[in-house]
């Protein structure tokens, strides 16, 4: 029986009202909620800590909140890496110096005659694939060892600590430092409000901020930076005895950085500066090399350190636990295909071998889940381990099957274990003996709890240790970096919170940072009232650590300036008899000399011969070089002195602390500079890192020696009036 029109209209109105209410409910988004919830709307009581078995225990797989948060974060972008997108890689080998059987059964650390193949990928963290190499950022340092026991990945950074203590905060950290979502700016930079808003509200970031504002965050090259495993791991020997370990990579070329002004200019002149440097060095046979260092600590001695080694915002000072150098890493082959190797390589801190095990570091525990999840998204499925660059060199066998991009063709009818059908009458079994991987047996704390260990509460003592360990020029650079970053912020309140936190590191540091920022003087008491603030600074047994500063002492050996690039400035009329012996001496000491002039091709010497030119001034600025050699010859010197680009070339090199040598009449370029106007030869020669030579064959040996010594110190930051030199 048909319904009446009135009944139909009444029901329609009711349904319409219900539909409107339902649509209004559905219109609510996560940003409308006044409190934090899961994606299912479950209200959160704690967004800072993962669920652990005891406050210092391992993170539990049960933590569905952590898994949801990290799973969503890992799948945010395809196919580019969310972090470490901008990278460069190379093949090489690792060779142990002697057996480390006392500490570990890991095969690659046993036989000094064995070279274990490796693939290494360096990267920046925050920028996209198209960003520049020389931005201020942490650098990734990931090593894949292709061992006979399986692949081992040591996935670290060029800084030994990290911003956060628990993996629960990793998505928040990266969301804060990435370009701001409403306008996608700035790219590959931390100098914006969202990053410093987060950092100022999370005092645990303070130690890492000190490193990130230092010259460590703008390395001269990948070849001249340290690497660290960051976390505390375990080494396990054949008897099952375990010790804690921190991993270090020590570069043979020393640890060197760029000037901040220089780094910004290089980003515009050659955004591939680090990638090109690595590639060209290997192609020339100047193979980059590092030593693997281990800080080994008996587990029963951890309490005596005065800080918690499970806290990834802490390092172990080398004066307290020395670094034992146990082997060398050499990179000797460039990839054949960037995409197939450098882009598709998949690292994971959970790729370990017998003899290495994890600690309960809550950031590491979260990474053990995150990395597999990330590779599945980025590389299109669970079979990323079958790509050539990721494939183990030893045989592997399991009953995992199918999936996207499967390359292995499995035969037979069995895809399960145990079975007796796959190999006749023999039951397939796992290795329950000494050859298989065995986790270290450790006690689990109770109760099951979502809380951070009180031993993680000290956020400032190691930041202060880092600050007090720096040389004067490094302190000045850190202050300048904070001023630059905070000067970019729109919100004065965020600047204020940052300097209030810095007052807990060092009052003088905080005052100097705050001075030009238009805010109130630092107030350390203001920080104490904020949620999450913990100030229980412990007393370390040392006040300074020499290992935390970037040395300016020259390297020793027959090649003290190995791979340094020296620009040789010339023009028509150059005198070569005194120049060539110096160039030869520089190259014998390991440097690479590059002749730069106003144009490509060649210039005429004072005797009318042709002298080859490698690059034109317009295409090869001073920021591409480590040192400058100005040739002699009156006509050549006058031509260069009359060319603004050449004068700027030398002026800029002086400002950036680089070694400069002028031969004979070439000193006229130095006299044109504001810092040396009207100076005589003796006055110029007293400027740190400046060498003056007569330009004659007889004086070449002494001049070369002085210049080599100046280059070997990398930079001369103590130059008078360098700050007054225009940028």
Q: What is the largest CA-CA distance in the chain?
A: 120
Residue 338 DSSP code: I
Peptide bond into 186 cis (omega under 30): yes
Cβ–Cβ under 8 Å, residues 118 and 111: no
CA distance 451 to 49: 6
Name the nearest CA neighbour of 203 among 653, 488, 534. 534
Distance CA 703, CA 689 (A): 12
Instruction: Give the whole-angstrom CA distance, residue 718 versus residue 721.
Output: 9
Tokens of 58: 């391992």
Burial 140-166 (b: 16+ CB within 10 A, else e): bbbbbbbbebbbbbbbbbbbbbbbbbb
CB-based contacts of 581: which residues, under 8 Å, 6+ apart?
A: 697, 700, 701, 704
d(CA 518, CA 727): 24
| Half-sphere exposure for 185 (CA within 13 Å, toward CB) | 3
Q: How far apart (Å, rounded) are the C-alpha atoms in residues 76 and 67?
A: 14
Query: Residues with Cβ < 8 Å from 239, sequence gap 6 or more?
Result: none
Phi, psi of 105 (to 5 degrees): -95, 0
Rounded Cα distance, 625 and 656, in Å:
11
> In sequence order, which residues have a C-beta less than 8 Å from that of residue 603 and are 6 or more positions away?
570, 571, 572, 573, 574, 597, 610, 611, 613, 636
Give phi and psi for 463, each to the nearest 5: -65, -40
Instruction: Tell me the two tokens of residue 602.
Output: 């060649």
Quick check: 493 and 568 in contact, CB under 8 A? no
Quote the radius of gyration of the chain (alpha carbons, Å).
Answer: 30
Question: Are the C-beta atoms of 307 and 321 separated by less than 8 Å?
Answer: no
Residues tagged active-site = 84, 157
Distance CA 354, CA 147 (A): 11
Number of C-beta neighbours around residue 509 at 10 A: 22
Torsion 396-398-399-400 (CA) sign = negative
Vertex 226: Cα angle to 705 and 107 (nearest 5):
115
Nearest to 170 by CA among 297, 267, 82: 82
Number of H helices, E strands in the chain: 19, 20
């Amino acid at each position: 029986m048909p319904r009446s029109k009135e009944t139909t209209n009444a029901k329609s109105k009711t349904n319409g009202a219900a539909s409107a209410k339902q649509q209004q409910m559905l219109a609510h988004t996560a940003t409308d909620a006044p409190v934090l919830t899961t994606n299912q709307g479950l209200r959160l009581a704690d967004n800072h800590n993962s669920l652990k078995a005891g406050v210092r225990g391992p993170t539990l797989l049960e933590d569905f909140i952590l898994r949801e948060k990290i799973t969503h974060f890992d799948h945010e972008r395809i196919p580019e890496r969310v972090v470490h997108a901008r990278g460069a890689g190379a093949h090489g080998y690792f060779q142990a110096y002697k057996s480390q059987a006392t500490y570990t059964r890991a095969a690659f650390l046993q036989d000094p005659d064995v070279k274990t193949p490796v693939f290494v990928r360096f990267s920046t963290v925050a920028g996209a694939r198209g960003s520049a190499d020389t931005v201020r950022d942490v650098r990734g340092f990931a090593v894949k060892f292709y061992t006979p026991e399986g692949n081992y990945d040591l996935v670290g950074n060029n800084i030994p600590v990290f911003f956060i203590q628990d993996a629960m905060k990793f998505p928040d950290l990266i969301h804060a430092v990435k370009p701001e979502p409403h306008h996608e700016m700035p790219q590959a930079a931390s100098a914006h409000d969202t990053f410093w808003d987060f950092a100022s509200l999370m005092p645990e970031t303070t130690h890492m901020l000190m490193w990130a504002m230092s010259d460590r965050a703008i390395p001269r090259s990948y070849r001249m930076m340290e690497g660290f495993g960051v976390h505390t791991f375990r080494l396990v020997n054949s008897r099952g005895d375990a010790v804690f370990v921190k991993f270090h990579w020590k570069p043979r070329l020393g640890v060197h950085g760029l000037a901040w002004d220089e780094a910004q200019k290089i980003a515009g002149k050659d955004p591939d500066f680090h990638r090109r440097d690595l590639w060209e060095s290997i192609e020339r046979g100047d193979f980059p090399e590092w030593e693997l260092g281990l800080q080994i600590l008996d587990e029963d001695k951890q309490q005596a350190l005065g800080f918690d080694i499970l806290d990834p915002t802490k390092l172990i000072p080398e004066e307290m636990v020395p670094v034992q150098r146990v082997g060398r890493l050499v990179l000797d082959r460039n990839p054949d295909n960037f995409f197939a190797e450098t882009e598709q390589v998949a690292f994971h801190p959970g790729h370990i071998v017998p003899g290495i095990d994890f600690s309960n570091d809550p950031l590491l525990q979260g990474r053990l889940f995150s990395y597999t999840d990330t590779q599945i998204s980025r590389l299109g499925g669970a079979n990323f381990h079958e790509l050539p660059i990721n494939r183990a060199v030893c045989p592997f066998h399991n009953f995992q099957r199918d999936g996207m991009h499967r390359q292995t063709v499995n035969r037979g009818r069995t895809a399960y274990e145990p079975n007796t059908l796959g190999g006749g009458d023999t039951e397939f079994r796992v290795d329950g003996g000494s050859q298989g991987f065995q986790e270290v047996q450790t006690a689990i704390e109770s109760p099951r709890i979502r809380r951070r260990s009180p031993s993680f509460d000290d956020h400032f003592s190691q930041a202060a240790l880092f600050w007090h360990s720096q040389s004067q020029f490094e302190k000045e650079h850190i202050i300048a970096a904070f001023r630059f970053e905070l000067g970019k912020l729109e919100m004065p309140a965020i600047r204020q919170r940052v300097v209030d936190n810095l007052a807990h590191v060092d009052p003088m540091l905080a005052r100097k940072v705050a001075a030009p920022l238009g805010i109130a003087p630092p107030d350390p008491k203001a920080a104490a009232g904020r949620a999450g603030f913990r100030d229980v600074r412990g007393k370390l047994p040392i006040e300074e650590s020499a290992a935390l500063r970037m040395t300016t002492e020259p390297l020793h050996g027959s090649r003290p300036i190995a791979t340094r690039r020296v620009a040789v400035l010339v023009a028509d009329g150059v005198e070569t008899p005194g120049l060539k012996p110096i160039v030869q001496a520089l190259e014998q000491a390991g440097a690479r000399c590059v002749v730069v002039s106003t144009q490509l091709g060649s210039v005429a010497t004072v005797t009318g011969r042709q002298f080859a030119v490698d690059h034109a001034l317009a295409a090869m600025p001073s920021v591409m070089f480590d040192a400058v050699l100005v040739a002699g010859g009156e006509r050549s010197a006058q031509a260069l002195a009359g060319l603004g680009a050449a004068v700027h070339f030398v002026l800029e090199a002086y400002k950036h602390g680089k070694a400069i040598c002028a031969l004979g009449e070439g000193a006229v370029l130095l006299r044109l500079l504001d810092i040396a106007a009207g100076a005589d030869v003796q006055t110029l020669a007293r400027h740190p890192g400046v060498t003056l030579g007569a330009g004659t064959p007889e004086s070449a040996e002494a001049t070369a020696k002085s210049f080599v010594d100046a280059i070997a110190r990398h930079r001369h930051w103590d130059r008078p009036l360098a700050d007054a030199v225009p940028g």
